[in-house]
Amino acid sequence: MKAITFDTFGDADVLRLTDAPAPEVRATDLLVRVYAAGVNRADLTHRTGGYGRPHFGDSTLMGLEIAGEVVAIGSEVVGYQVGDRVMGVVGGGAYAELARIDYRMALPIPAQLDYVHAAAIPEVFVTAHEAMLHLGRLKVGDSVLIHAAAGGVGSAAVQLAYATGATVYATTEASKAARVEHLGAAVAIDYKAEDFAAVIADKTNGRGVDVIIDFVGAPYFARNIASLANGGRLVQVGIMGGGGEVSVALEHILYRHLQIMGTVMKSRSQPEKHAMVQRFRAHWLERFDGAGSLEPVVDSSFPLARAGDAHRRMESAENVGKIILTMQPHDLV
């Protein structure tokens, strides 16, 4: 099969379309002919050596998110059969014509969605639900601040928060504000020109928000704490702006009853990942019904052979929503 490989860590130019062996199907696996794969920031970290190893434990190939057609099933698979259209999160191996996926990580593709839009759902919407609804316990009438709201997880979180009945504040670039508001944000904050903590204080009359979903990290930490209401929950989903040490006055956590949580899907156990997928499926899957309730946001798509260009698009930070690789026969040249 054709797949993207790289011989050394480096910039996007290291990615090559080559021949690779098809994955072995285990008892709980679906073998999927991949028609589309989502590009995630973790792929960039993988490519540049940020994980210190060339694989994620389940494949030597890159990629965490697929949409395609089941072509074979393992002996212990329940609920799927050959010919089914599925999408889901894999433990590596998505940048290829064929990929295996634990059937408990797979989701049926809603009938009205094509493969490109299906590939824009699993990683970002499962992550957004887990962070904001499961851990952050967002509910109708709450308020939430979502950082990096034009990105993959951010744009999914805006939609889920709006559908939940929460008031959504979102940070983004000014050029992306209209799109973020279209997805459900009541207030789009230009993080380059405005202090989001000052805007939140102004818009909430000093109360703050109930939940914050943050992908940036250390540069935002102090202002995030200041922007939380009493009993507020900060859920750290990424550290794009930098990790390292942060400081907080314990009195703020104690007397304001604050909670600070972190979540990363990749480092969770398989049973925990299965539970995350099933929680999302139960709450939201049927809402991708074509009636405008929820929409996978696709920024752009690239043939598999141009995976390097897809990575460069993500590195530019100009995207709104997901970047997708496609694997139609004419793309594998």
CATH number of the domain enclosing 163: 3.40.50.720
What digits encode the pLDDT tens for the residues 87-137? Answer: 999 999 999 999 999 999 999 999 999 999 999 999 999 999 999 999 999
What digits encode the pLDDT tens for the residues 68-80? Answer: 999 999 999 999 9
Record the tokens describing residue 70, joined without a space: 């089941």
- Does residue 186 fall inside a structural domain? yes
- Does residue 188 fall inside a structural domain? yes
- Does residue 167 fall inside a structural domain? yes
Comparing CA positions, the residue from 39, 229, 309, 282 lying closest to residue 153 is 39
CB neighbours of 206 closer than 8 A, spacing ≥ 6? none
SS3 43: helix
Same domain, yes or no, for 245 and 162? yes
- Does residue 269 fall inside a structural domain? no
- Does residue 6 fall inside a structural domain? yes
Same domain, yes or no, for 150 and 251? yes
Q: Is the pLDDT of residue 284 over 60?
A: yes
Q: Is the pLDDT of residue 238 over 90?
A: no
At 266 the pLDDT is 76
At 58 the pLDDT is 84
CB 185 within 8 A of CB 148: no
What percentage of the chain reaches a pLDDT higher than 70?
A: 97
What digits encode the pLDDT tens for the residues 175-229? Answer: 999 999 999 999 999 999 999 999 999 999 999 999 999 999 999 999 999 999 9
Q: Is the pLDDT of residue 158 over 90?
A: yes
Q: Is the pLDDT of residue 262 over 60?
A: yes
- Does residue 219 fall inside a structural domain? yes
Same domain, yes or no, for 98 and 138? no
Same domain, yes or no, for 95 and 130? no
Distance (Å) of CA 294 to CA 89, 241, 283 = 19, 29, 12
- Does residue 270 fall inside a structural domain? no
- Does residue 243 fall inside a structural domain? yes
Look at residues 243, 262, 281 and tell me which one is the last residue of a structural domain: 262
At 210 the pLDDT is 98
Domain count, the chain: 2
Same domain, yes or no, for 167 and 248? yes
- Looking at residue 25, the DSSP 8-state letter turns out to be P
At 292 the pLDDT is 59
- Looking at residue 325, the DSSP 8-state letter turns out to be E
Interval 263-270 mean pLDDT: 83
Interval 261-266 mean pLDDT: 86
Here the CATH number for the domain that contains residue 48 is: 3.90.180.10
Residue 241 pLDDT level (bands cut at 50, 70, 90): confident
At 52 the pLDDT is 77
Q: Is the pLDDT of residue 330 over 90?
A: no
Q: Is the pLDDT of residue 321 over 90?
A: no
Average pLDDT, the chain: 93
Measured CA to CA, the distance from residue 213 to residue 147 in angstroms comes to 6
SS3 294: coil
Residue 154 pLDDT level (bands cut at 50, 70, 90): very high
Return the bridge partners of 300, or none: 323
Strands of the chain (E only): list them. 2-5, 16-19, 29-39, 65-73, 85-89, 98-102, 106-108, 143-146, 167-172, 187-190, 209-214, 228-236, 259-262, 298-303, 322-326
What digits encode the pLDDT tens for the residues 35-78? Answer: 999 999 889 999 999 887 766 678 989 999 999 999 999 999 99
CB neighbours of 173 closer than 8 A, spacing ≥ 6? 150, 190, 191, 192
Q: Please name the amino acid found at residue 214.
A: D
At 268 the pLDDT is 85
CB 109 within 8 A of CB 86: yes
Q: Is the pLDDT of residue 2 over 60?
A: yes
Q: Which domain holds residue 248?
A: 125-262
At 273 the pLDDT is 92
Distance (Å) of CA 329 to CA 30, 57, 116, 239, 332 = 21, 28, 15, 37, 6
Number of residues that this document lists for the chain? 333
Residue 329 pLDDT level (bands cut at 50, 70, 90): low
Q: At what angle do helices 218-227 and 196-203 cross, to 10 degrees?
A: 10
